[in-house]
């Protein structure tokens, strides 16, 4: 093992967009907002945030939100209300985001139905285009395993399209324009839509559905996992051109064991308490969501190897799956023991 543990002590910045329903449950497709109209409840949620955070809270009409130092609330045309976090980093920033999501969880009037989802923006301004292309290429290679960890309805969601199932790439292609190709459609699992438009130098990750909008433990571990992923792959060698029988080459999909190796979750490194928690959480979600009653690439036949590997990892680590899916105490969520 390395003498220095892997830990969530990176300076990479991030932010989240949390979607919740308007308080009247309005169908915004059938009944869109009139010009200047704000969804019911946006002022109420704004007041909650003002009372419970130390950050400014701004309520605005819909607009692109970039580099904000406080919370911005605005209408969302599909579900009702979008809460955009301040630009954040390290445990302190993540903890503040989790506290807001916990506030939403504890407020019964605030709902987040199937129309809602959680988006994470991870800043990549420090990466040159070679590094950015590598990060995105490795995301495409790891994407099936990340999708294995979420429910079937999110795997099949048109607002979270699997890049590997599109025709954006093939194994014979090079890597110089990956960042541009993933900027063509903002509804991919990961996209550079705003990066390509020159608005913000981030990668947006859209896998998590409505369960993330009121689950601070999920968000804590998902954000930590994404930032850790970027840090672990940014300096890896390029996968290179396709090589027969080599899953590490080109855009070939990796299996669970490969992804755990890439993340440093395979036992080669000592992990901090925080990353140990994230590894256990990720594995518990894989165990829970891999077996789905569906014919196709995400069904039992299509993901049989990953299912076997997850079962073996759960046994090896003697993982209590239920414990790591939804902890019952705030100590597990906010304890300084698990901060890094």
Contact status, residue 204 vs residue 121, Cβ threshold 8 Å: yes
Instruction: Please indicate whether residue 241 or residue 210 has the higher confidence score (pLDDT).
Output: 210
- CA angle centred on 22, ends 203 and 92, rounded to 5°: 45
Q: At what angle do helices 216-233 and 273-289 cross, to 10 degrees?
A: 110
Across the range 268-280, mean pLDDT stands at: 94
| Residue carrying the six token digits 């890896």 | 236
**Predicted local distance difference test score (pLDDT) of residue 2:** 46
State pTM to two decimals.
0.95
Can you read off the two tokens belonging to residue 301? Answer: 């036949």
* Nearest by Cα to 82 from 100, 99, 69, 95: 100
Residues across the chain: 340
Asked whether the CA dihedral 252, 257, 263, 264 is positive or negative, the reply is: negative
Work out the number of other CB atoms within 10 angstroms of the CB of residue 171.
Answer: 12
Percent with pLDDT over 90 in the chain:
74
Residues 339, 92: Cα–Cα separation, whole Å? 8
123-158 pLDDT, tens digit per residue, is 999 999 999 999 999 999 999 999 999 999 999 999
224-259 pLDDT, tens digit per residue, is 999 999 999 999 999 988 899 999 999 999 999 999
State phi, psi for 228 to the nearest 5 degrees. -60, -40
Residue 250 Rama label (left phi>0; alpha psi -120 to 50; beta) = left
Report DSSP letters for 224-284, one per residue. HHHHHHHHHHTTSPP--S--TT-TTSTTPPP-HHHHHHHHT-SSSS-B-HHHHHHHHHHHH
| Residue carrying the six token digits 């890439």 | 262
Please give the C-alpha separations between residue 16 and each of 172, 180, 249, 306, in angstroms, as whole numbers. Answer: 35, 22, 32, 29
CA atoms within 13 A on the CB side of 92: 2
Can you read off the two tokens belonging to residue 195? Answer: 């990066």
**Predicted local distance difference test score (pLDDT) of residue 1:** 46
* Nearest by Cα to 204 from 225, 219, 226, 224: 226
Residue 286 scores a pLDDT above 60 = yes
Contact status, residue 333 vs residue 98, Cβ threshold 8 Å: yes
Contact status, residue 234 vs residue 134, Cβ threshold 8 Å: yes
9-37 pLDDT, tens digit per residue, is 999 999 999 999 999 999 888 898 888 88
Domain spans, the chain: 13-221, 238-338
Report DSSP letters for 87-112, one per residue. PEEHHHHHHHHHHHHHHHHT-TT---
Residues 46, 281: Cα–Cα separation, whole Å? 31
**Predicted local distance difference test score (pLDDT) of residue 196:** 94
Between strands 88-89 and 118-123, the pairing is: unpaired
151-160 pLDDT, tens digit per residue, is 999 999 999 9
Residues 111, 51: Cα–Cα separation, whole Å? 20
DSSP H/E element including 143: helix 129-148
Residues 82, 73: Cα–Cα separation, whole Å? 6
**Predicted local distance difference test score (pLDDT) of residue 315:** 95
Q: Give the 3-state secondary structure of residue 334.
A: helix
């Amino acid at each position: 093992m390395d003498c220095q543990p892997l830990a969530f002590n990176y300076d990479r910045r991030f932010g989240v967009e949390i979607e919740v329903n308007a308080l009247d449950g309005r169908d915004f497709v059938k009944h869109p907002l009139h010009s200047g109209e704000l969804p019911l409840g946006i002022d109420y949620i704004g007041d909650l945030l003002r009372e419970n955070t130390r950050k400014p809270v701004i309520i605005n009409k819909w607009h692109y939100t970039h580099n904000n130092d406080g919370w911005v609330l605005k209408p969302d045309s599909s579900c009702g209300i979008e809460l955009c976090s301040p630009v954040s980093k390290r445990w302190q920033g993540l903890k503040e985001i989790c506290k807001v999501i916990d506030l939403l969880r504890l407020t019964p009037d605030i709902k987040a139905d199937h129309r809602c989802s959680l988006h994470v923006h991870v800043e990549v301004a420090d990466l040159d285009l070679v590094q950015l292309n590598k990060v995105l290429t490795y995301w495409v290679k790891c994407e099936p395993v990340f999708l294995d960890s979420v429910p079937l309805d999110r795997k099949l969601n048109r607002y979270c399209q699997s890049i590997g199932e599109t025709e954006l790439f093939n194994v014979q292609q090079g890597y110089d324009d990956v960042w541009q190709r993933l900027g063509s459609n903002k509804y991919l699992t990961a996209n550079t839509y705003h990066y390509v438009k020159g608005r913000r130098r981030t990668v947006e990750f859209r896998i998590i559905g409505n369960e993330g909008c009121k689950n601070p433990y999920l968000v804590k571990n998902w954000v930590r996992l994404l930032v850790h992923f970027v840090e672990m792959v940014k300096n890896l060698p390029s996968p290179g051109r396709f090589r027969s029988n080599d899953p590490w080459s080109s855009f070939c999909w990796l299996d669970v064991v490969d992804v755990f190796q890439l993340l440093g979750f395979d036992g080669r490194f000592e992990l901090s308490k925080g990353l140990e928690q994230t590894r256990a959480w990720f594995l518990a979600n894989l165990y829970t969501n891999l077996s789905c009653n569906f014919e196709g690439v995400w069904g039992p036949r299509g993901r049989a190897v990953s299912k076997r590997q997850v079962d073996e990892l759960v046994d090896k680590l003697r993982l209590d799956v239920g414990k790591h899916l939804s902890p019952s105490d705030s100590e597990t969520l906010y304890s300084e023991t698990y901060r890094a």
